[in-house]
């Protein structure tokens, strides 16, 4: 691969940070995206540079198509002879509630951030991947999008949408040497799961524990590499056997 540049959205969160660090370790120049947590993005940048890696920070709202397009246009002006060959659509939010109590805004914001952002950002980067006949698109989805979880009709709907889009896009761009895959974490020890009863929930997991962000990052790193060149349209679970 002669163009090792990877954009990781939500790079200031736990999973995003682990992905950024792992890709940098594998030789990628990493674009660390953040929306609201500049401090964590800076910490990730310093860790990568401190380990001899290469990275930069980018800031925009993934749910705002104008900001997404503006980011890539500006980046291309500053880097006219380069393109981003790996895209990790990791940014996401949740706003859990039973549907009977769910507010319109809870539905809309989750769909915009978790599903619409996939379209906005992937479409922005896809043309250069097609022209260069190389690309890796990796979407971080969720166990909730595969099996559904009560209180998460918005989140499950958004992630299920990304799973379907992953499978469809993989068939559209495979002949251009672009792979499109999804990584589906289960219970991972992050801020999103900190209020869950880990002692009780881990009993449902065959491996009897929650996963770590690094375990998700390892799978993303594999899919971003040429070792995964014959894998596309796949949804790879990282859930300790909880759902297969």
Kindly list the catalytic residues: 155
Residues with Cβ < 8 Å from 105, sequence gap 6 or more? none
- No. of helices (H) and no. of strands (E), the chain: 9, 7
What angle do the packed helices 153-173 and 104-111 form, to 10 degrees?
A: 20
Residues 173 and 137: their CA atoms lie apart, in Å, by 11
∠ CA(154), CA(157), CA(163), 5° rounding?
145
- Tokens linked to 127: 């043309």
d(CA 26, CA 8): 14
**170, 181 Cβ separation under 8 angstroms:** yes
Chain Cα centroid distance, residue 217: 10
């Amino acid at each position: 691969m002669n163009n090792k540049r990877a954009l990781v959205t939500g790079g200031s969160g736990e999973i995003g940070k682990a992905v950024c660090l792992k890709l940098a370790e594998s030789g990628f120049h990493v674009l660390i995206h953040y929306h609201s947590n500049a401090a964590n993005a800076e910490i990730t940048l310093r860790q990568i540079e401190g380990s001899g890696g290469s990275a930069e920070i980018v800031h925009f709202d993934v749910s705002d198509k104008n900001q997404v397009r503006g980011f890539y246009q500006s980046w291309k002006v500053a880097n006219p002879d380069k393109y981003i060959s790996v895209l990790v659509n990791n940014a996401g939010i949740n706003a859990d509630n039973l549907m009977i109590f769910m507010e319109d805004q809870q539905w809309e914001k989750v769909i915009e951030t978790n599903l619409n952002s996939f379209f906005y950002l992937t479409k922005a980067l896809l043309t250069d991947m097609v022209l260069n006949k190389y690309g890796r698109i990796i979407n971080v989805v969720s166990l909730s999008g595969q099996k559904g979880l009560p209180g998460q009709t918005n989140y499950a709907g958004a992630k299920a949408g990304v799973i379907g889009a992953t499978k469809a896009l993989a068939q559209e761009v495979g002949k251009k040497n672009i792979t499109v895959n999804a990584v589906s974490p289960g219970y991972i020890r992050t801020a999103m799961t900190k209020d869950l009863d880990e002692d009780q929930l881990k009993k449902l997991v065959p491996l009897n524990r929650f996963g770590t962000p690094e375990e998700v990052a390892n799978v993303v790193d594999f899919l971003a590499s040429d070792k995964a060149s014959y894998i596309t349209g796949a949804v790879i679970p990282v859930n300790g056997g909880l759902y297969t």
